[in-house]
Structure 1
Amino acid sequence: MPYPLDAAAVRSWCGLALEALGRERERIDAINVYPVADGDTGTNLYLTLESAARAVEAAFDGHASAGTAPGLADAIGAMAHGALIGARGNSGTILAQLLRGMTDVLAAGGGTDGTDTATGDRSAEALRRALRRAAASTYEAVAHPVEGTVLTVATAAAERAAGEAGDAAAVARAAHEGARTALQETPGQLAVLGRAGVVDAGGCGLVALLGALADALSGEVTATPVAVRADAPLPEAAGCDVAAHTAADACGEPGGPAFEVIYLLEASDEAVARLRTRLDGLGDSLVVVGGDGLWHVHVHVDDAGAAVEAGIEAGRPYRIRITHFGGAGRTKEPALAARAVVAVVPGAGLADLCTGAGATAVTVRPGEPPASGELVQAIRQAHAREVMLLPNDPELRHTAAAAAEQARTEGVRVAVIPTRAAVQGIAALAVHEPDRSFDEDAVAMTSAAGATRYAELALAERQSWTMAGVCQAGDVLGLIDGDVAVIGSDLTVTAMTVLDRMLSAGGEMVTLVLGAGAPAALAERLERHVRERHLAVDTVVYDGGQRTAPLLIGVE
């Protein structure tokens, strides 16, 4: 007996689809040649649907604890959201969009109070419209749609379903048959598939997904999330014969981008529109899905850091995953040394100091913070298996994280030491011990940086409000740990006040880093001041050469 299209059917669909993809995962992986022959389409689809199934179960559990039953909108919405946040790879991202497209229709036809309105004939019509919307939405999400892929298969499924006059189960079965027929034709539509003698891997997964939906609605299996149906793998007639293709990595298109970048993004529609344009210029296989402030971004690029930075500019990216395609794009540099340090510094003097200590320095140009690509290049130039990365600026934390993530995909173990100022970097570099274990060294350097309070002297460019009051253009600002604490008119006097405030909490060592425009006598006067006012405190002076601040101060 057919089942209605309701929350229970969605739950059953998830369970059956997960079983089907679990059985077919390896076969789908084996025929994965487009867009990159990385042999993971089946796995990505399975993991994406696994996330969707967990979300549906959570929705049922939440309603059970409240003594209610979920409606169709709750279940299909949870399925789509779970797929969105757990989408893996190009195929998983498109699957998430397919489910979101269905949700746009089905959620509008079902209540959230446990009463489903999409039943009977209305259920069948709702499913027809949902499949049409799902197919159309995939074309909207993909920057450059290609025929002979899962997009074509989804469209054929929707068209076949539209011509079916039966109930929802019959509509789902028609969609499944339409997808199977379209899948057979994909090798003739996409050259790379024809050369490999295989069908589209993503389309193969969609056939399994639609077959599970038809089973869930037909009543051939019990409508529970863990029901077991008769083993029905994708038939050879559907085009999933892998005999003609035993090495997916030999059939892909050469010379493609080196990295796959995926992240979730909290951003507005307007920001995402700009992001699409920027990412489209960076690489290919761009798919951006989602809405209502939450998006899933997928792109293949050579500069993974730039793709992440684009997300940072658009909103808040998280769950960032960067995968290096073996044999594609760039090849990584050989790792020679055991461990190295890469430090971002604001001046040539500090760069010389770091280089003298054995580190690789990235010098910041005034007003031009380094991009993650520059940091990745510096990590490569360090020629080390392990790297300690010192950003030395709170504004570079995302850039450093993106660079570290990309370097890790190239086989380099990277720890980002959370240094917020150059003087913290100096302190961290001073305790660096390559002979220690990686984790012990990272902890020691982080501890040394954290134990160093930092300050800088700067000149106000305009009148503005600060935590220390109103400053005027030309005033000397003393910033302690990033906040304005002192406003003065004389550089030396203001520096003395800052030192006194910092040392009032204790300290054993003062580090002074002189900027390019610092007065010649500044260091001598400050050293004398510390010696006279703060006994047993040592002072060390470096010529930093930075143009951004006449003086940097560190207190350990």
Structure 2
Amino acid sequence: MGTPQGHVAYGNCTIVAEAVPGLQNGGVDQARLGVSVPAPGKVPKRLMPLAHLDLAALRRWVITARADLAAYAEALNSLNVFPVPDGDTGSNLLMTMSDAVDEIDRRAPETLVSATRDMAQATLTAARGNSGVILSQLSCGVSEVVEADGGETLAAHQLARVLTRAAQLAQDGVSVPVPGTILTVAAAAASTAERADGAGADLVGVIDAAVAGAGEALLRTRIDNPVLCRAGVVDAGGAGYLLVLEALQRVVHGEGGLAVTGGTEPEWLRISRDAAGSGVAELPVDCGDHAPADGPSYEVMFLLEKTSDDAVGELKATLHDLGDSLVVAGGPDRFSVHVHVDDVAAAVNAGVDAGRAHRFRITRFADQPSVQTPEFVVLALAHGQGVAHEFKRVGLTALTDWYDEEVLRSQLGRVGTLLLCTSPETFDAARGLTTDAMVVAVGRDAAQALAAAAVLDIDAGFDQMCAAAREAAADVASVRVVGDPGDDALMQQIRGAAEAVRGAELMTLVTGDGLTADRIDALLLAVATEHPTLDVTHVAGGVGEPLLTIGVE
């Protein structure tokens, strides 16, 4: 088979640098997780991640994002409980992104500047709902940065600026920002991207940091927002924003395909799905005293043109007094206005008074059932971001701040939790928890924990799932190399681990930040040469991981 972009070929095997794309029938898709063996007579082609975004990459991004939003639209709708439970966030985001794709197809722009300008106008015009208007600000951020620089590519620094500008535009457009929403997710993506850029990261590093930051912020929306905390679900708009960023991440990494495949369930959905539609949950202690009272009954949206700054300012003040969830985005020639009100006529008249108001959309909110927190969850406790990323890619919640018992407790299921432990320290932390709920700790290093993650079947029931995880971890003979004995000694450790397991088929190598890229490449090449029958998976574990963890099964 061919080698997916972002993978590195060594001899007759393909080592995955950024792997674990999803769950397949309850387990990890091993063909894409570790090693792909080429068909006879075919030589794998080395393909590299993108160093910059050009017009072709932009097209792939919006098309991929639209496909992902389509795949998850119903899931996002089911999580839509804030600011009102109208169950349309997924549909709104999908329609907003679809119009952007259609506009680019219709106009067929030949430059990145014109394409991003068209995309910004299309998403602003088509924006549906509060989340759709805020998503349009991501397009506006792209357009502003590209036009300011006047180039035909976006590098790492520009991408960080794009995300920062998008977060600023979104924040400025909202009348009363609320914590634990899509705004929080956008801000986290921007801040982590800026930090990565400031540290000298390339395009891959910047988008990886943005996705990681957005993902962590999305999970925190269940705590930061009282309504979501009561419901036990993440913010639907924030989840949609993360999907769009993850689509860009796959484009940058050179990966194809959808975010969703058979059996896939992202971490934010997994921790929310059992809660959705299951009745009112008990209010957790850190949710605040109560959720906000019921709001207005109607959503009013329209486009505003031929206006002025003073008129827009007056419109904002009027609509703010009339209702809530006010977002006024865009400018200077066209604005998208979104507000929740009871007095529809007053909102419409305010728009007409401010300029040329048109394309009105007025929706009466439908009642939706309340939701509750999940009974059972699976958490991975990791040291390095690279290891955490592997668990996240298969739809698991990964905690790198597991040492904070309050943080760890906030993620536990009401009845039971399976904790995948990547070190003796994480295992001890898991076993040391005192709680009325069932806690099962599995694994003592990253190789064992990843093996356990590969066999998880969330539909099998909690007890059976835990038993399968224990068995998978026990089948891994593993070695953790903490110091740096040198390359020859490391290779000897790898040989010894491989020879110790009769009939070994799979080897997992998790590297810490103490190994340079050149040393890792040399080790992988040596392993492929000496053990041609082994399927080898390499995971760049990152800061906090030991020098090398070897797992053989």
Bin the TM-score by the shorter chain. 0.5 to 0.7
SS in 2 for 1:163: helix
Which whole-Å deviations, capped at 9, do the CAs of 1:35-71 have from their partners, x for residues lacking one? 00111111111111111111122232xx4xxxxxx22
User: Which residue of the partner structure matches residue 105 of structure 1?
Assistant: 145
Task: For 1:54-203, list aligned pairs within 5 A.
Answer: 54-60=102-108, 63=109, 70-111=110-151, 116=152, 118-119=153-154, 123-164=155-196, 165-203=200-238
Structure 1: how far apart are the matches of 2:171 and 2:247? 23
Check 1:50–1:130 CA distance in 2 against 1; reply closer, same or farther (3 A cut): same
1:285 corresponds to which of 321, 325, 349 = 325
Code of the residue aligned with 1:242 in structure 2: it is R
Check 1:243–1:48 CA distance in 2 against 1; reply closer, same or farther (3 A cut): same
User: Which residue of the partner structure matches residue 273 of structure 2?
Assistant: 242
Contact kept? 1:199, 1:239, Cα under 8 Å: no
Check 1:301–1:89 CA distance in 2 against 1; reply closer, same or farther (3 A cut): same
1:8 corresponds to which of 40, 47, 56 = 56
What is the number of residues matched between the two proteins? 307
Check 1:23–1:228 CA distance in 2 against 1; reply closer, same or farther (3 A cut): closer
Structure 2: how far apart are the matches of 1:283 and 1:106? 36
Which whole-Å deviations, capped at 9, do the CAs of 1:459-492 have from their partners, x for residues lacking one? xxxxxxxxxxxxxxxxxxxxxxxxxxxxxxxxxx
User: Which residue of the partner structure matches residue 255 of structure 2?
Assistant: 220
In the alignment, does 2:278 pair up with 1:231? no
Code of the residue aligned with 1:150 in structure 2: it is I
Which whole-Å deviations, capped at 9, do the CAs of 1:498-550 have from their partners, x for residues lacking one? xxxxxxxxxxxxxxxxxxxxxxxxxxxxxxxxxxxxxxxxxxxxxxxxxxxxx
User: Which residue of the partner structure matches residue 345 of structure 2?
Assistant: 305
Check 1:105–1:147 CA distance in 2 against 1; reply closer, same or farther (3 A cut): same
SS in 1 for 2:273: coil
Structure 2: how far apart are the matches of 1:278 and 1:196? 32
- Aligned-residue CA RMSD (Å): 2.3
Which whole-Å deviations, capped at 9, do the CAs of 1:305-324 have from their partners, x for residues lacking one? 11110011000111101011
Structure 2: how far apart are the matches of 1:160 and 1:323? 36
Aligned-pair CA distance for 1:270? 2.3
When the two structures are superposed, what TM-score results if normalisation uses the length of structure 2? Answer: 0.53
Task: For 1:253-268, list aligned pairs within 5 A.
Answer: 254-266=293-305, 267-268=307-308
Check 1:193–1:269 CA distance in 2 against 1; reply closer, same or farther (3 A cut): same
Aligned-pair CA distance for 1:247? 5.8
The gaps in structure 1 that reach 5 residues or longer are 64-69, 222-226, 329-556
Check 1:247–1:107 CA distance in 2 against 1; reply closer, same or farther (3 A cut): farther
Aligned-pair CA distance for 1:101? 2.4
Task: For 1:502-541, list aligned pairs within 5 A.
Answer: none
Structure 1: how far apart are the matches of 2:335 and 2:249? 29
Check 1:326–1:144 CA distance in 2 against 1; reply closer, same or farther (3 A cut): same
Structure 2: how far apart are the matches of 1:72 and 1:87? 22
1:272 corresponds to which of 299, 306, 312 = 312
In the alignment, does 2:85 pair up with 1:25? no
Aligned-pair CA distance for 1:176? 1.0
Aligned-pair CA distance for 1:253? 5.3
1:51 corresponds to which of 99, 104, 126 = 99
Check 1:157–1:90 CA distance in 2 against 1; reply closer, same or farther (3 A cut): same
SS in 2 for 1:323: strand
Structure 2: how far apart are the matches of 1:31 and 1:14? 23
Structure 2: how far apart are the matches of 1:187 and 1:234? 18
Code of the residue aligned with 2:254 in structure 1: it is G
When the two structures are superposed, what TM-score results if normalisation uses the length of structure 1? Answer: 0.52
Contact kept? 2:175, 2:320, Cα under 8 Å: yes
% of aligned pairs identical? 44
Check 1:318–1:174 CA distance in 2 against 1; reply closer, same or farther (3 A cut): same
Code of the residue aligned with 1:236 in structure 2: it is E
Structure 2: how far apart are the matches of 1:57 and 1:105? 22
Aligned-pair CA distance for 1:273? 1.2
Structure 1: how far apart are the matches of 2:279 and 2:145? 37
Structure 2: how far apart are the matches of 1:231 and 1:213? 17
Task: For 1:347-366, list aligned pairs within 5 A.
Answer: none
Contact kept? 1:180, 1:238, Cα under 8 Å: no
Aligned-pair CA distance for 1:237? 5.4
Aligned-pair CA distance for 1:242? 1.2
Aligned-pair CA distance for 1:198? 0.4
Higher relative contact order (CA closer than 8 Å, sequence separation 6+): 2
Structure 1: how far apart are the matches of 2:276 and 2:260? 28
Aligned-pair CA distance for 1:7? 1.5
Contact kept? 2:182, 2:237, Cα under 8 Å: yes
Contact kept? 1:264, 1:294, Cα under 8 Å: yes
Aligned-pair CA distance for 1:97? 1.9
Structure 2: how far apart are the matches of 1:57 and 1:312? 32
